[in-house]
Chains A and B, each alone.
Chain A
Amino acid sequence: MQEIVESALFAAKRAGASYVDIRSIQREEEDITTKNGAVDAIKHTGSKGFGVRVIANGGWGFSSSFIATPEEGERVANEAVQIALASSKTKLEDAKMSDSKVHQDRVPQPVKIDPFEIPITKKIMILLEADKAMNVQGIVVRKGSMHFSKEWKTFASSEGAYIEQERIVSGAGISVVATDGKEMQVRSYPNSFGGDYQRKGFEFIEEMDLVSHGKEIAEQSIKLLLAKQCPSGMMDIVLESPQMALQIHESVGHPTELDRVLGEEASFAGTSFLTTDKLGTFKYGSDIVNITADATIPEALGGFAYDDEGVKAKRVYLVKNGIFVGYLNSRETAAKLGLEVMGAMRADNWNKMPIIRMTSINLEPGDKTFDELIKGIDHGVLMGTNKSWSIDQNRLNFQFGTEIGWEIKNGKIQEMVKNPTYTGITYEFWRKCDGIANKDFWHVWGVPNCGKGEPIQVMQVSHGTAPARFRDIQVGVLK
């Protein structure tokens, strides 16, 4: 790798680049899926390549290749400069980056059990045991999945950075579909859309105990077919922590991305209502709402040692005591606003240019028990596990649906309700948060599939959260 780095850095500088970085990734992945008592697919993927990012004549350029040779490093670097020079034809000012400490480091990721050392047969056995547990009459689809990845990333820059870091990820989940021929109901464990992911080894899969939860979700999905519809109207809600993760993701994570705020994602992902005049003054939520971007949590899927600009991982507040106080930023956007860089530039692979992404966006725990959240409600709904989501391109109007709900009456959880949905305007919603469960109920959920950018990048992020209560919310908008 060292030869390719030197070749690319030298070639880009020679071609006129004022700044160059090169990032290479070697990645190994394993995916196993089961469906209805059989192994649906097993796939092993190996990939490697590198990308070169440059500033030349004040414009940005990026090129990449899967051919890892010094000669290709030189060709790619020259192409990146050619692209940057084309960019510069439309520049309004020269691209600039804020200063950042230059690091040389090597960061392995220790795990208790290397997932690639566990035989496939054992992984299959766990998923098929869980499948068996889900095999309840009335279930038409039973699915299980496991994902493992291991990568070694090298980052070097013309400023002198040279950082190597390892990343090992394990994830798994199970789900069922029940139908009576007229409608279908789904349940998942431990979360929907692939389950839960962390930067841990196979021990994370063992901790999940998929097998023990199979029967419960199967029975719940059958009961949902017979359950009454979620009530409609303005009422109080408690969101279980998997749904809170989605709520944080869509209505805090994305709107605090400074590239969106500055219009750089207007073409696709959209912009944000969190305009720069709101920084430090805007009432984002109630006083108990404290939200951090924390890339330093060792096992969080959104964590890392250094971002893809070589900035060391940090923990910063986005919302403190309900006030909006911080953005997710990059060296370039931080420079534009005179902010301190917080390290949120990430690319999903070697062939993509880094953009501002969530790290681990976490709602700090509150002081209530789960029972205390429920006890404080006369009439409302407890909602768990995301089923559908939609939010406007400024991140204001959202509507989310969950797999399951339970009506709450007089401070007690009552009967199960189906098709729960709720809707609101982001900051109005967070201002209605009046209870957050304590650290005993707090969990960091891994979200492996956050899409953003052109070309699209699918990023691994995470959200630490406990269940929380919101007052007077519009519930049950489904016709």
Chain B
Amino acid sequence: MIEKERVFDILKNVISLSSADQTEALFMGEESYLTGFANNYIHRNVGGKDCSLSVRVAIGKKVGSAMVNSFSEDAVKKVVHDAILIAKNQRENRDFVSFAKPEKRKDRNFFVEATANCTPEFRAEYVSKILSKTKAKGFIGSGKFETNTLEVAVANSLGVERYTKLTISTLKSVVLTDTSSGYSEYSSVDVNKIPLDDIIRESVEIAEKSQNPVSIEPGKYEVILTPYALADLIGSLSYIALNARAMNEGMSFLIGQIGKKVVGENVTMYDDGFSQETISLPFDFEGVPKKKVMFFDKGVAKGVVYDTLSAYKEGKKSTGHSLPQPNPYSPYPMNLIMEGGESSKEKMISHVKRGLYVQRFWYTNPMDPRNTVITGMTRDGLFLIENGKITKPVKNMRFIENIAAALNNVLELSKERKIIYDMASVTAPYARIKDFTFTGKTEF
């Protein structure tokens, strides 16, 4: 890590070197380590350091940007020069008003020393414990144990100065048998809070119980989605609906629907980077503090997230959801949270007459984003529920579902929720949903 004082020296130097009307400098540093395992041994064990210095300048309404991964005097001068040269050759962006202005907000610490200092030996020890179990069972262990440290700082010529460090650790276990697989994953800022035993238990148990699956016919089924599966489903909305870009480009199903009931009354969903139930930076990549944005309040559509450009365009304030600019995916909800209910996984199962328990989805992709229709496969554990009990494992199936319709068909939500982290954080409960549509099947 470069550390705060040195980072701000670099960023302030960028601003002082720039002759543009406005200048923004974004620093991102990363030390990332990943111990990958497959076939019951560590097969890919990698790590390294990288960083980037992104400079964005505005000359009037002409905006240019350049990035480099060096802080040498020459590199810093060149990146500022390149950004200005681009801006000068640029056409005016009629939507551009200004980079972010400073806002006061207390920062939050997501940095844990133990994660930052985690060693290859520590990761190998955790992996060994998983593999001891899979080998003892005659199964095959695969997965990853990842520990990352991020350092992010933003400064601009309008007075924004933000700095934070964040650690993230993720342990994933995928257990294979001859005829099945099981899955478990957990992410935390603190490597010592990874529940190793729970991860081993869940992934081995699902793999064991889903052996020798039977084939059933596609059709509409009542489903219980684990937080992994539900996070995949609602996470798709982040890109296709819950942001100002999707609204602006005519893609979001929320166009003309704000203030109206669009999903079930038992569905409340929001983005909150300051929640205790997420993994987050306290500000976005323009240096704007993250604000809580309600998407669905008891089923009623409330709003979407903004970055500075999209906010100015609509005469609003940024909600602190910019990705590193320029970026075709910005703004983006990075801390999606769905409120839970009063139920539990066990109660939900007992309430199903005939349905499916879905451990996880795979390769979900929008087919018709405007109507929130997506398709995907089940993976790593699919079970038939009959008369309130899980009765048999089922071969994987393809689903096509309208996410908004599924969120209108939620029958129960669990109190228990999990944080699923994969570039962005999604916090989701177990959900019992009626009339979920499966359209095809596969051979395993």
Contact = CB atoms under 8 A, between A and B. Distances in A.
Interface of A: 33, 38-49, 51, 59-67, 76, 79, 82-87, 89-92, 119-121, 124, 128, 140-141, 177, 179, 181-184, 262-268, 270-271, 273, 351-353, 355, 387-394, 396-397, 399, 401, 419, 421, 423, 425, 454-455, 477-479
B49 A43 contact: no
Given A390-B377, A393-B379, A59 B144 contact: no
A478 B373 contact: yes
Contact of B35 (A79, A86, A271, A479): A86
Q: Which 6 A-B pairs have the closest CB atoms?
A: A41-B326, A64-B48, A86-B120, A397-B442, A86-B124, A87-B42
A60 B43 contact: yes
Nearest to B36: A454
Nearest to B86: A42
A43 B67 contact: yes
B89 A266 contact: no
B70 to A, nearest CB: 7
B120 A43 contact: no
A82 B379 CA distance: 35
A396 B199 CA distance: 28
A454 to B, nearest CB: 5
Given A40-B326, A177-B251, A262-B39, A394 B49 contact: no
B47 interface: yes
Nearest to B40: A92
A388 B38 contact: no
Nearest to A194: B328
A452 B49 CA distance: 21
Given A397-B377, A478-B373, A423 B440 contact: yes
A87 B442 contact: no
A231 B443 CA distance: 26
Given A390-B365, A479-B437, 11 more contacts: A39-B93, A41-B327, A45-B66, A89-B42, A121-B89, A181-B255, A266-B38, A388-B365, A392-B398, A477-B439, A478-B373
A397 B375 CA distance: 12
A473 to B, nearest CB: 13
Contacts of B78: 46
B421 to A, nearest CB: 14
7 contacts: A45-B66, A90-B127, A128-B91, A263-B140, A267-B37, A401-B367, A423-B440
Given A267-B38, A425-B443, A83 B370 contact: no
Contacts of A128: 91
Nearest to A76: B48
Interface string B71-106: 000010011001100100111111100000000000
B68 interface: yes
B368 interface: yes
Interface string B130-147: 010000000010111010
Contacts of A67: 49
Contact of A60 (B40, B44, B65, B95): B44
Contact of A46 (B43, B45, B79, B146): B79
A263 B44 contact: no
A316 B155 CA distance: 52
B328 A33 contact: yes
A47 B68 contact: yes
A353 B35 CA distance: 12
B212 interface: no
B441 interface: yes
B19 to A, nearest CB: 17
A352 B32 CA distance: 11
A184 B174 contact: no
**Residue from A40, A44, A63, A389 having most chain B Cβ neighbours under 10 A:** A44
Contacts of A179: 250, 370
B46 A83 contact: yes
The majority secondary structure among interface residues of chain A is mixed
A43 B326 contact: yes
A264 B69 contact: no
A50 to B, nearest CB: 10
The majority secondary structure among interface residues of chain B is strand
B314 interface: no
A83 B45 contact: yes
B155 to A, nearest CB: 19
Interface in B375-398: 375-377, 379, 396, 398
B93 A390 contact: no
Contacts of A43: 65-67, 86, 326
Nearest to A394: B444
A445 B119 CA distance: 43
B91 to A, nearest CB: 5
A82 B44 contact: no
Contact of B363 (A61, A79, A181, A391): A391
Contacts of A66: 49-51, 69-70
Nearest to A47: B69
A90 B362 contact: no
B442 A392 contact: yes
B46 A455 contact: yes
B74 to A, nearest CB: 11
Given A48-B70, A60-B44, A388-B365, A393 B38 contact: no
Contacts of A425: 442-443
A193 to B, nearest CB: 11
B67 A423 contact: no
Nearest to B92: A38
A141 B69 contact: no
Given A46-B69, A86-B121, A397 B48 contact: no
Nearest to A456: B423
Contact of A423 (B49, B398, B437): B398
Contacts of A397: 377, 396, 398, 440-443
A264 B120 contact: no
B436 to A, nearest CB: 12
Contacts of B51: 66
Nearest to B83: A44
B377 A392 contact: yes
B38 to A, nearest CB: 5
A59 B65 contact: no
A132 to B, nearest CB: 13
A478 B368 contact: yes
B122 to A, nearest CB: 9
Given A388-B366, A454-B144, A64 B49 contact: yes
B176 interface: yes
Given A46-B69, A48-B69, A352 B46 contact: yes
B258 to A, nearest CB: 15
A273 B443 CA distance: 9
Nearest to B375: A390
A84 to B, nearest CB: 7
Contacts of A86: 35, 42, 45, 119-121, 123-124
A389 B256 CA distance: 29
Contacts of B402: 479
Contact of A62 (B46, B95, B143, B369): B46
Contacts of A79: 47
Nearest to A268: B144
Contact of A267 (B69, B95, B174): B174
Contacts of B166: none
**Residue from B44, B120, B144 having most chain A Cβ neighbours under 10 A:** B44
